[in-house]
């Protein structure tokens, strides 16, 4: 079974590369979705215990939105997109403007409309991330319908530990900065987003073997 403490720099660099590839796919899909160029920077991508996630984020009392989804096959990948509420307002506003051709005041939107847009955003971002993993492993996993939750950061992370600890306590965490450019590419707005990939240790081990950075026992 994969042991975090046994991983060296080569394996950790490979983990970061998985995060970069997945996030790159997600940024390209988001750009097409909202109609603006999107670039992405991955300041952190690493394996951590799901029980230590609180040390990787900010104020535990901050209100955040989480979008959960999973692969729809026997190869269990579980994903979470984590956004702060100001990022939610930004992304939902852009999506609504693209789909309906008009700007809407985010504060006036019904929660059902916000969550529907968030689910659509999560489906695109997390599905694109999964497609990158599929390419690495030669799989054809699809993704389940996303579920959306709004709560304090500490509460969301405790749910993550409870839900996904049953599969194994290791998560691939990517912390991303999304830069969304204006149509003339002269101005940009920055959005913080985190994508977590959680799976059984055997599946993460399979990823690292596929990348050629660990061998068979």
pTM of the model: 0.84
Ranges of each domain in the chain = 4-210
Quickly state the pLDDT bin for 150 (edges 50, 70, 90): very high
More confident call, 1 vs 77 = 77
User: In angstroms, rounded to a whole number, what is the distance separating the alpha carbons of residues 80 and 136?
Assistant: 20
Nearest to 75 by CA among 210, 214, 213, 182: 210
The pLDDT assigned to 146 comes to 93
Quickly state the pLDDT bin for 116 (edges 50, 70, 90): very high
Residue 217 reports pLDDT greater than 60 = no
Signed CA dihedral, 143, 144, 148, 149: sign only: negative
The pLDDT assigned to 202 comes to 75
In sequence order, what E strands does 50-169 have? 63-70, 77-84, 147-152
Please name the CATH architecture into which domain 4-210 falls: 3-Layer(aba) Sandwich (3.40)
The pLDDT assigned to 40 comes to 79
Judge whether 49 and 160 are in contact, CB under 8 Å.
no
């Amino acid at each position: 079974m994969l042991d975090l403490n046994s991983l060296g720099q080569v394996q950790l660099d490979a983990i970061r590369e998985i995060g970069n590839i997945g996030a790159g796919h997600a940024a390209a899909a988001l750009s097409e979705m909202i109609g603006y160029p999107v670039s992405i920077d991955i300041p952190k991508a690493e394996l951590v215990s799901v029980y230590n996630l609180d040390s990787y984020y900010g104020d535990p009392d901050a209100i955040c939105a989480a979008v959960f989804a999973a692969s729809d096959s026997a190869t269990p990948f579980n994903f979470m997109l984590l956004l702060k509420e100001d990022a939610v307002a930004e992304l939902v506003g852009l999506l609504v403007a693209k789909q309906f051709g008009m700007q809407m005041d985010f504060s006036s939107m019904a929660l059902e409309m916000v969550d529907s847009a968030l689910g659509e955003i999560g489906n695109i971002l997390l599905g694109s991330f999964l497609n990158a993993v599929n390419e690495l492993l030669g799989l054809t996993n699809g993704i389940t319908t996303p579920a959306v939750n709004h709560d304090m950061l500490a509460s969301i992370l405790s749910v993550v530990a409870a839900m996904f600890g049953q599969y194994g306590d290791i998560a691939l965490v990517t912390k991303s900065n999304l830069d969304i450019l204006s149509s003339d590419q002269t101005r940009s707005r920055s959005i913080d987003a985190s994508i977590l990939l959680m799976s059984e240790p055997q599946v993460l081990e399979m990823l690292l073997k596929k990348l050629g950075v660990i061998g068979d026992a």
